[in-house]
Amino acid sequence: LLELIGVSMKGPTASKATGKLTLPVTYADISSEGIIITENNRRIQIVNQRSGTPLTYTIMRQQPDGTLNVFNKDITIPQTEFIGDTESMAYTPNLMLLEGVTQSQTGVFGQEANRQTIRITNGPVIEGSIGVSSTESAGTYYNEISNLYVASGGNTPVFEKKYNQDMTATLFFGDGVRGRMPSPGANYTVTYRTGGGVNGDIARGSLKSPVTVLNGVNNITAEIENTTKGSGGTAAESVAHAKRYAPYFFRTQYRAVTGEDYNALANSFVGVAGKT
């Protein structure tokens, strides 16, 4: 009923911690192209010490502009991001550990004339974790926005996400007027994470695990640990919260003028790294 009047329910957010990756080699021994961590090796499985339930954290690399690359299954860490000398092990402190399991889904855009949609079949899908890449124009990357009606033109590759009852999600793409319309027949890959919630909150140092990385042509065993606590995980938005803030959000009309506007926008904001 809330969706019928334009209220988009927020999904779960994931806990976030700062990660430190240590390699058993010196800085000089790291490949000039850097190291690669494949999709499966990015997943670190631990047990929450408080609840005793299993958890999965995913290794992420923060971009220089502060954003996360949500499109690639594997991540590359440049040699320049490592610290060390000729006598000690090399390490990088610039990684992010986000709770949730990285998954991917492939397909082909259909022949729809007006609007393309993609249904993500696994859930619960974590907020801010979805990226869609396609084979159009030698590679096109679609980013999520809150509403297609605020898309800046008909060539912007964006999509809007709506949650289903089971916390899977359906992605809606532009029609060529509001957002780019995907080319029929183009292949696409959706990358996303599933999980979220307060169970991902962990103490500092509770994640300390071996991880296999590719250094040039050789596999070596490194170590990943969380140097800060994992925090910020929240469950999906409740109906009570949506009912409370929806009237304020409608009143703002995507602008912030009064203090009430700022309060409404802050309570509707969803980041990529836990609760804000």
Tens-place pLDDT, residues 29-71 = 999 999 999 988 999 999 887 788 889 999 998 877 777 788 8
Average pLDDT in the chain: 87
Alpha helices (H) in 60-145, listed in sequence order: none
Give the pLDDT confidence of 155-176 residue by residue, as tens digits.
999 999 999 988 999 999 999 8
Q: Is the separation of the CB atoms in 220 and 163 below 8 Å?
A: no
Q: Would you say the C-alpha torsion 104, 123, 174, 266 has a positive or negative sign?
A: negative
- Report the alpha-carbon distance of residue 98 to residue 168 in Å, rounded: 19
Predicted structure pTM score: 0.83
HSE at residue 140, side-chain half, CA atoms within 13 A, is 17
